[in-house]
Amino acid sequence: MYKVFVKDIPIILSTKKKIGRQYTSLPLKIVNFKKLIKQILKGDLDYINLYHKNEEKLEKFLKKKLPVVKAAGGLVYNQKQEILFIYRNSKWDLPKGGIEKGETKEEAAIREVQEETGVQNLEIRDFITKTYHVFKRNGEFKLKITYWYEMYSDYGGALSPQADEGIKKAKWKNFEKSQKALRDSYENIKLLFPKEYLTTHPKDRIL
C-alpha cells in the first residue's frame, strides 16, 4: 500500500477494491489522475482508493500518470538524540532536495541536508522509506518521490539555514519539541517518525 499526498490529503494505492465505506475506489490503471487531483484540490473528494490486483505494479502505473521528480533527504539524529528540522513555508519540515544527474540517492540526501542546514559529519545509518506527493510547477502537476534516510551527525557547530531556498530556520529538537513541531508539519513527513512522536500528552490536546 502507498499513500500519495495532494496537499495533506492521501490518495491510497492498494490491491483491495474496497477498503472502507467512505472511500471512492477506482482502478489505478485507467483513472484520470489529473482530474482526480483537481477534484481533491476543489474539496470534492477526500477519501480515495486506487487499486490494482498486482502490488508490484502499483508504483509502475502511478509513475505513468504524472512526470516524476526524484528527491532525497534525511531524518538526522545527533548525540543527544535530537532531530534536525527546517522551517519553510510556515511549516516544520525535514531537509531534502532533488537528485542531480550522476548522483546516487545517498549522495543526494547527504548533500541536500548539508546545503539546507549547514550540518556536517553526516553518516547514513539506514533507509527509512519513500514518500510520494503531488505538486505543481510551471502550471503542470508532477509527482515527487522522495527517498528518506536515517542519518547521524556528531556536529556541534552553528547551523545555517539555506535562505535562497526559503528556509527560515534550522533547529535541533528534542523529543518534546519534535512532537510539537510535527503538529505543524506535513502528513508525509509524519510517516517517517516512530508512533510515539505522534502521540501527544493529554494536557497538550485542544479539547
pLDDT digits (tens, 9 = 90+) for 137-175: 999 999 999 999 999 999 999 999 999 999 999 999 999
User: Above 60 in pLDDT, residue 183?
Assistant: yes
Per-residue pLDDT at 188? 94
User: What residue type is 50 in one-letter code?
Assistant: L
Q: Where in the chain is the domain with CATH 3.90.79.10?
A: 71-204
Q: Where are the alpha helices (DSSP H) in the chain?
A: 33-41, 58-65, 105-117, 175-182, 187-190
Per-residue pLDDT at 205? 45
> Which candidate, 32, 36, 33, 57, places its Cα nearest to that of 47?
36
User: Above 90 in pLDDT, residue 59?
Assistant: yes
Per-residue pLDDT at 196? 87
Contact 76, 93 (CB under 8 A): no
User: Above 80 in pLDDT, residue 202?
Assistant: no
> Which candidate, 44, 38, 39, 12, places its Cα nearest to that of 26?
12
Domain range 71-204, CATH architecture: Alpha-Beta Complex (3.90)
Contact 130, 145 (CB under 8 A): yes
Q: How confident is the model at residue 207 (pLDDT cuts 50, 70, 90)?
A: very low
Contact 113, 122 (CB under 8 A): yes
For the segment 108-141, what is each residue's pLDDT rounded down to a tens digit? Answer: 999 999 999 999 999 999 999 999 999 999 999 9
Q: Over range 47-73, report the average pLDDT.
A: 95
For the segment 94-103, what is each residue's pLDDT rounded down to a tens digit? Answer: 999 999 999 9
User: Above 60 in pLDDT, residue 203?
Assistant: no
Residue that has been written with the C-alpha cell 495533506 in this structure: 8
Q: How many angstroms separate the CA atoms of 175 and 99, rounded?
A: 30
Q: Over range 60-89, report the average pLDDT.
A: 96
Q: How many angstroms separate the CA atoms of 114 and 119, rounded?
A: 5
Per-residue pLDDT at 198? 84
Q: What percent of the chain has pLDDT over 90?
A: 91
Provide the CA 10 distance to its chain's centre, in angstroms: 11
Per-residue pLDDT at 86? 98
